[in-house]
Structure 1
Amino acid sequence: MSTPQFFLGRQAIVGRQRELFAYELLFRTSQHNAAAVTDDVAASAAVMQHAFTGLGLQAVLEDKLGFINLSEPLLMSEVIEVLPRERVVLEILETVALTPAVIERCRALKATGYRLALDDVIGFTPAQQAILPLLEVVKLDVLAMPPEQTAALVKALKPCGVKILAEKVDSPAQHDFCHQLGCDLFQGYYFARPTILSGKPVQPSAMLLLKLLGQVAADAEIDELEDTLKHAPDLTVQLLRLVNSVAFGLPRKIASVRTGINLLGRAQLHRWLQIMVFAQQSGGRMASDPLVQTAAVRGHLMELLAEALRPGQLQLADQAFMVGMLSLVDALFGHPMPTVLQALNLEAPLQQALLERSGWLGRLLSVVEALETGSAADIDAHLAALGGLSADALNHMQVQALHWASQLGRESAGDAEIT
């Protein structure tokens, strides 16, 4: 059969220090027919094979694990053996009946090196107790239980040698509660929505970067930009580290701000500063901060979409990058979007896209946001309104963006120095 159309969503799973641990991969086809079970398995197999071979495993997961949801037919079939055992965690859905045959299948998968997780746990039945020794991760549905039930489950699971993952964590209170209980991993909208850094104090250097962004937008002279940077020499070092990273593909190392500005040009400098706003405010943890990664992916993916849909319009592509990158700036600073945007002197179409999701750039941003949740119906609707783009082309652009974002801040050779 031909490879089905599908969209790839990716949700972060983080550790106790909010470090990036893994991704759950969300596959959504735009097929709405009630296919037979065998067709469903075949379609899932084609999607998985396409994602892990055609799209590129390294670009999708970087160096992290990937959690993959399995229905009972898929779990029992040989199809899942296309998945690389060293890179995935097989997540058994709550709809799977844990029969002796299923448990035996899980035992065989574990024996061949696959990691197993149990999804949406809210209590332990005898069958769940039987499969527990085979599991590496148990995912607790914290939204479906009262706090005392969650606490009791964590206490019961602690001696069992499994990682306890609190999923559907939607608020700071839920995160703090599960963290205090001793959960090892966390997943949910709290790590993607603007509440992620609510109340976080704004770093002075990050505010300085917002000032620089405004200066670049106003076409300030190089001397003025350098003067601003002199107030934060440590920030200058971080900026040079970023601009020398392999993601920029520059022909030679940059050792001074003036050289960097001249070599990059204004448009690239603008994007350089946008990325550094996130890197600085997140403490420089570009590779491990889910918020920074999401912002960078959004920026580059919107740029690629703009280039594909409106070829040759370089200024529009730059604007698309900026909208994507800044779409999470309210989460970064813990302040409302209008407040943060005041310092940036943005043109009206960019402001409308960021504040209202309106206009052509707003539509692009809506596509990218829908991709993050794997909402196929929303993606189809937005793509149709934009003039049409195949799911395959969109997925390849997404993987390009994921790979690009993973390279940010990773220098090709040596450390940056100021001269």
Structure 2
Amino acid sequence: MTDPADAGSSELFLGRQPILDRSQQLLAYELLFRNGRQNAANVEDPVQATATVVTNAFSELAVGDALGPYRGFINVDRDFLFSDMIELLPKDAVMLELLETITPDEAVVARVRELKDKGFQLALDDVVGLDDDYDELLTLVDVVKVDLQPLSPDQVRTIVDRVRPTGARLLAEKVDSKEQMEFCRELGFELFQGYYFARPTIIAGRKLDHSQLALLRLTQLLLEDAETAELEQVFKGQPGLTVNLLRLTNSVACGVRTRITSLRHAITMLGRRQLQRWLQLLLFANPQGGGVTPLLQLAATRGRLMELLADKLRGRAADLPDQAFMTGIMSLMPALLGQAIEDILAQLPVPPAMAQALAAAPGAERPGTLGRLLALAETSEGGDPAAVAALLPGLYGITPAGLNAAIAQALAWANEIGRDAGND
């Protein structure tokens, strides 16, 4: 018989959704853990399997490290709440979300108080109403997540009035519009989560400016191992970018003793790998300041994830990981720019395989290896284990364990990129 722990560690599927603060900066992720075998007949104890899935994510996959400065919100049902395994989680890195199915009886209140005394933070999930049974629990939890979807404005106000005296922070979840976000901000909500933050309406109608286009074009040329003369031509059209390149190459950090006076010399001395990383930092930097936006963070994570997954494929072409990275980044450009992918591709010619993967209609199957990798990356972000598992047979060499490890590595890399870009 297969041990539940083995099943949990080998077939864990990890999804994540960003949680933002009032200035729309990334503050945390809700982590969606799914065990692909949890409902299989050979798992005698689903609760044990679920607990193992989550704890293994923080031990074997090092998700705690991958989160970086961001806290991970984790759904907890009643059985898991009372499981000893919950105490193996890193209390400084998680927020335990008490599902709405948990009845706030005396045993639950006592367990929550015990976990609080041990240093854990807790939240109430999917709140649509709070009766008197929640009086004591509200004094213990750190966050109350209010599900906006079924509630009227007056009902939301009632919940806010109920929570405000307790000191718990309010999180608006399932935010689908700018109006909802502004309404909740006026009521005092501090945290936000929902599809609105991944839709083009944030920056509707924005076009690629010359510098952004140049960054994308330079990155693509580097991936194609283009001649230095081609790189020079792009730099020559961007005086500001050129000055920054010369400053970077002349910096003490680069260890260059000879003064750089030409573009060709700068590109040669800096090296293509370091130049590519610098361009990536610039690409992910928020031009308005204040760090990296959630969408840019997602673009960084998706690009790196696809690169790592491409590297695992058997019989792959040598340049596939680099092409996968660019495909992942560009897949979120429509949301970042409020512009159709066809218009973006028209401004930035890419290889046919990449264009086909990116231009597939919503809901349609994405063609080619790049298309399948992009579909897997997108699906993994939703935490649907059945949908993820269905895509793996088409990508020979990628296992559930390999996918999980790549997700953790991609999150860690994107967090590092975000810190570096924020310090530029």
Q: CA deviation at 1:221?
A: 2.6
The answer to whether the Cα contact below 8 Å between 2:16 and 2:30 also exists between their aligned partners in 1 is yes
Partner of 1:247: none
Q: In the alignment, does 2:365 pair up with 1:360?
A: no
* DSSP-derived class of the 1:23 partner: strand
Aligned equivalent of 1:185, options 185, 191, 200: 191
**Cα RMSD after superposing both structures:** 3.2
Scaled by the length of structure 1, the TM-score of the pair is 0.86
The answer for the alignment partner of 1:81 in structure 2 is: 87
Which secondary structure does the structure 2 equivalent of 1:342 belong to?
helix
Partner of residue 327 from structure 2, selected from 323, 330, 335: 323
Aligned to 2:400: 391
Note the C-alpha offset of 1:207.
4.4
TM-score under structure 2 length normalisation: 0.85
Distance in 1 between residues matched to 2:33 and 2:85, nearest whole Å: 16
Residue 313 of structure 1 and its aligned partner are, at CA, apart by 2.4
C-alpha spacing 1:258/1:175, structure 2 compared with 1 (3 Å): farther
Q: For residue 406 of structure 1, what is the aligned residue in structure 2? A: 415
Partner SS for 1:94: coil
Q: Partners of 1:404 and 1:384 in 2: how far apart?
A: 27
- Superposed CA deviations along residues 222-266 of structure 1, whole A, max 9, x for unmatched, are 4313312215567658x959xx9xxxxx98579976456335766
CA contact (8 A) 2:157 2:187 kept: yes
Distance 1:96 1:144 in 2: 19
Matched, 1:276 2:285: no
Count of aligned pairs: 404
Identity %: 43
Instruction: Output aligned runs, 1:194-273, within 5 Å.
Output: 194-199=200-205, 205-210=211-216, 212=218, 221-232=230-241, 236=245, 240=248, 258=264, 261-262=267-268, 273=279
Are 2:130 and 1:121 aligned? no
Q: Choose the corresponding residue for 1:297, options 283, 298, 301.
A: 301
Greater mean alpha carbon deviation, residues 309-318 or residues 6-15: 309-318
CA–CA distance in structure 2, aligned partners of residues 58 and 320 of structure 1:
26
- C-alpha distance in 2 between matches for 1:208 and 1:222: 10
The counterpart of 2:169, out of the listed 160, 163, 171, is: 163
1:23 to 29, 38, 56: 29
Q: CA 1:215–1:411 in structure 2 vs 1: closer, same or farther (change >3 Å)?
A: closer
Structure 1 gaps of 5+ residues are: 245-249
Matched, 1:346 2:350: yes
Q: Which runs of 5+ in 2 are unaligned?
A: 361-365
Partner of 1:13: 19
Distance in 1 of aligned mates of 2:396 and 2:274: 28
Deviation of the 1:339 alpha carbon: 1.4
CA apart distance, 1:385:
1.8
Cα distance in 2 for partners of 1:329, 1:203 equals: 13
Query: 1:271 touches 1:322 (CA, 8 Å); kept in 2?
Result: no
Q: Is the 8 A contact 1:212 1:228 kept in 2?
A: no
Displacement after TM superposition at 1:176 (Å): 2.3
1:63 to 60, 65, 69: 69
Question: 3-state DSSP class of the match of 1:408?
Answer: helix
**How far apart, in 2, do the equivalents of 1:333 and 1:170 lie?**
18
